Amino acid sequence: MTETGAWVRVCAIEDIPLLGARVLERDSGDGIALFRPAPARVFALADRCPHRGGPLSQGIVSGDTVTCPLHGWNIGLDSGQACAPDVGCVRRYPVQLRDGEVWLSLLPVAQAAEEAAA
């Protein structure tokens, strides 16, 4: 698979509410949550809180974090890491903004790095 082939157009940036999120459904595996913390910024995380699996896409987005709707864990959007003192992390997906369109790679970040190294 070529590198560019892994990228797929998901939606226009305006389709994601500002300070909000949309969830991308997939036939297999968890959904991917797309967050828009600022007008021209977008992040993609697996839609599953490391705590008890809550849907992060339904949380409140503020600054660069999202607060899980189930038990209030805060997850960093750019790192996927839970904010201290909670410990845990969520799979991140490479995401890009090209001409107002959101492009996503379905290979999670760590996995992509490993494959590149191999």
Partner 1 sequence: MRKPRLVVVGNGMAGIRTLEELLKLAPGMYDITVFGAEPHPNYNRILLSPVLAGEQDFDDIVLNPLSWYAEHGITLHLGKEVTRIDRVQRKVVAADGTEAEYDRLLLATGSLPFILPVPGKDLKGVIGYRDMHDTRTMIETARVKKHAVVIGGGLLGLEAANGLKLRGMQVTVVHLAGWLLERQLDPVAGALLEKSLRERGLDFRLNTSTTEIVGNDAGEVAAVRFSDGSEIPAELVVMAAGIRPNTALAQAAGIHCDRGIVVNDTLQTYDPRVYAVGECASHRGVAYGLVAPLFEQARICADHLATWGIGIYRGSAVSTKLKVTGIDLFSAGDFMGGEGSEEIVLSDPAGGVYKKLVIRDDRLVGACLYGDTADGAWYFRQIKDGSVVGDRRDTLAFGETALGESGTAGQDRAATMADADEVCGCNGVCKGTIVKAVREQDLFTVDEVKKHTKAASSCGSCTGLVEQILMNCLGSNFQETPKTKAVCGCTTLSHGEVRQAIREHHLVSHAQAYAFMEWRTPNGCATCRPAINYYMLSTWPREAVDDPQSRFINERAHANIQKDGTFSVVPQMKGGVTNPSELRRIADVADKYAIPMVKVTGGQRIDLLGVRKEDLVGVWRDLGMKSGHAYGKSIRTVKTCVGSEFCRFGTQDSTRMGIELETMLANMWSPHKVKLAVSGCPRNCAESGIKDVGIIAVESGWEIHVGGNGGIRTEVARFLCKVATSDEVKEYVGAFLQLYREEAYYLDRTVHYIARVGLDYVKQKVVEDAANRRALYERLLYALEGLPDPWAARVAGTQAREYQPLKLDRQIAVALED
Summarize as ranges the residues that interact with partner 1 (CB under 8 A): 6, 8, 10-11, 15, 17-20, 22-29, 31, 34, 52-55, 58-63, 65, 67, 69-72, 74, 85, 106
Min dist CB 59 to partner 1, Å, is 7
CA distances (Å), origin 29, targets 13, 21, 106: 24, 19, 11
Please report how close the Cβ of residue 81 comes to partner 1 at its closest, in angstroms.
16
Whole-number Å distance between alpha carbons of 60 and 52? 17
Q: Which is nearer to partner 1, 55 or 81 (CB)?
A: 55
What minimum distance in Å lies between the beta carbon of 89 and partner 1?
18
For residues 36 and 61, the answer to whether their CB atoms sit within 8 Å is yes
Structural contact between residues 101 and 13, judged by C-beta atoms closer than 8 angstroms? yes
- Beta strand pairing status for 101-105 and 95-98? antiparallel
Nearer to partner 1, 20 or 79 (CB): 20
